């Protein structure tokens, strides 16, 4: 055996790994030692270039020309700095675990496999036991001031006496009102409120919920007073309260605003503050004040005067030319 050099063998073994993989596939060659497979190779391949020229020694393989040697099984790699130790290869590095077989990670105690990325191991306790530590059996061990949940997976703060229906214990003996609630300084209870308050005409009726007051109606994001019977030409300033513009007054029904004209409108109707609109058949006379309208005779009134819509009265000494005519002629 003097012709074998340990270093040569190792070099050859690594070179041969590829060429002998087919032999390794046979389970009967697989050694009990983890990751080490025994393969048979032609003895001549184990000899140095020089020794190959001499007589080839008998090998210990199944045929005299073959020798049995140990190699790392597929999926395993030689442990650095050892002759025969082989370790499994995990393509992705195991996190919180050891690579115990090719592409198999075994989790540390207290860790379980990440359901998606199998090479990762995650603590057995959910969210890593906030306010506590995860113990090996997957249960939390809570910090002082915190209480273990019945399923032993969470730690809850403890508040002596509780925090009431609308509060929650956030820290040892410290309560906080739930969202939409504030502490009432008098009763020391959490009472609902509406953050930022409610718009005009609205009241807070539930946590962060405003509703229109009685007599108000929803309009856009706010509420407006409602005058269901009406408020013509006026503003509904409060429920069932109609307010007229200056110069207008509310009628007896309380639902209509009527304008006022001073002086009164003549042959016209008051339609706004001191604003007269001529009745049909009348026109505004620019020579007279704005509240007056005069009868309109579209064809004019020769020798007469327009006294009513399209009706002329003849001047003294004149008479109508004919019946129904608006022309006045000198009496003969």
Ligand X SMILES: *[C@@H]1O[C@H](CO)[C@@H](O)[C@H](O)[C@H]1NC(C)=O
Please identify which residue in 67, 256, 291, 326 interacts with ligand X, judged by CB under 6 A: 67
Please identify which residue in 30, 108, 218, 284 interacts with ligand X, judged by CB under 6 A: 108
Nearer to ligand X by Cβ, of 69 and 226: the residue is 69
Tell me the residue number closest to ligand X, measured at CB: 98
Residue 37 backbone dihedrals phi, psi, to 5 degrees? -115, 145
Is residue 96 near ligand X by the rule CB under 6 A?
Answer: no
Is residue 65 near ligand X by the rule CB under 6 A?
Answer: no
Write the DSSP assignment of 26-93 as a string of letters: -GGGB-SSTTEEEEEEEGGGGS-TTGGGSPPPPPSSSSTTEEEEEEEPTTEEEPTT-SS-EEE--SS-
Please identify which residue in 29, 30, 65, 68 interacts with ligand X, judged by CB under 6 A: 68
Q: In the bound complex, what is the minimum distance in angstroms from residue 99's beta carbon to ligand X?
A: 9
Is residue 14 near ligand X by the rule CB under 6 A?
Answer: no
Nearer to ligand X by Cβ, of 59 and 164: the residue is 59
Is residue 60 near ligand X by the rule CB under 6 A?
Answer: yes
Q: In the bound complex, what is the minimum distance in angstroms from residue 126's beta carbon to ligand X?
A: 22
152: left (phi over 0), alpha (psi -120 to 50) or beta: left
13: left (phi over 0), alpha (psi -120 to 50) or beta: alpha
E-strand ranges in 279-322 read 282-284, 293-295, 304-308, 311-314, 318-320
Q: In the bound complex, what is the minimum distance in angstroms from residue 57's beta carbon to ligand X?
A: 8
Is residue 315 near ligand X by the rule CB under 6 A?
Answer: no
Q: In the bound complex, what is the minimum distance in angstroms from residue 71's beta carbon to ligand X?
A: 11
CA distance 299 to 148: 105
Determine the 3-state secondary structure of 300 from DSSP: coil
Q: In the bound complex, what is the minimum distance in angstroms from residue 149's beta carbon to ligand X?
A: 29
Number of residues that bind ligand X (CB under 6 A): 9
Please identify which residue in 21, 31, 45, 98 interacts with ligand X, judged by CB under 6 A: 98
Q: Residues with Cβ < 8 Å from 70, sequence gap 6 or more?
A: 13, 31, 36, 37, 38, 84
Length of the chain in residues, anyone? 332
CA distance 172 to 269: 79
Is residue 106 near ligand X by the rule CB under 6 A?
Answer: yes
Q: Residue 24: enclosing H or E segment and its boundaries?
A: helix 21-24
Q: In the bound complex, what is the minimum distance in angstroms from residue 11's beta carbon to ligand X?
A: 14
Binding site for ligand X (CB under 6 A): 4, 46, 60, 67-69, 98, 106, 108
């Amino acid at each position: 055996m003097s012709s074998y050099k340990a270093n040569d063998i190792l070099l050859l073994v690594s070179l041969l790994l590829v060429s002998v993989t087919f032999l390794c596939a046979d389970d009967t060659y697989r050694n009990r030692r983890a990751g080490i497979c025994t393969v048979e190779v032609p003895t001549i391949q184990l000899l140095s270039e020089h020794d190959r020229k001499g007589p080839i020694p008998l090998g210990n393989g199944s045929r005299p020309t073959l020798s049995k040697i140990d190699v790392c099984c597929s999926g395993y790699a030689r442990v650095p700095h050892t002759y025969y130790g082989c370790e499994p290869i995990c393509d992705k590095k195991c996190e919180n675990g050891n690579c115990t077989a090719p592409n198999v990670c075994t989790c540390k105690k207290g860790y379980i496999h990440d359901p998606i990325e199998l090479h990762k191991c995650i603590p057995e306790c959910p969210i890593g036991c906030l306010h506590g530590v995860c113990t090996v059996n997957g249960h939390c061990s809570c910090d002082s001031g915190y209480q273990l949940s019945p399923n032993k997976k969470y730690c809850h703060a403890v508040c002596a006496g509780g925090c009431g229906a609308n509060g929650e214990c956030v820290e040892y003996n410290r309560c906080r009102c739930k969202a939409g609630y504030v502490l009432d300084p008098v009763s020391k209870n959490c009472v609902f409120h509406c953050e930022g308050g409610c718009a005009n005409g609205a009241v807070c009726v539930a946590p962060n919920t405003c509703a229109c007051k009685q007599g108000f109606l929803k309009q856009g994001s706010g509420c407006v007073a409602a005058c269901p019977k009406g408020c013509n030409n006026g503003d509904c300033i409060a429920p069932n309260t109609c307010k007229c513009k200056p110069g207008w007054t509310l009628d007896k029904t309380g639902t209509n605003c009527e304008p006022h004209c001073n002086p009164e409108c003549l042959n016209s109707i008051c339609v706004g503050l001191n604003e007269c609109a001529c009745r049909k058949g009348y026109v505004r006379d620019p020579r007279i004040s704005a509240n007056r309208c005069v009868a309109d005779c579209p064809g004019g009134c020769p020798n007469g005067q327009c006294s009513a819509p399209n009706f002329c009265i003849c001047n003294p000494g004149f008479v109508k030319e004919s019946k129904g005519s608006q022309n006045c002629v000198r009496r003969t």
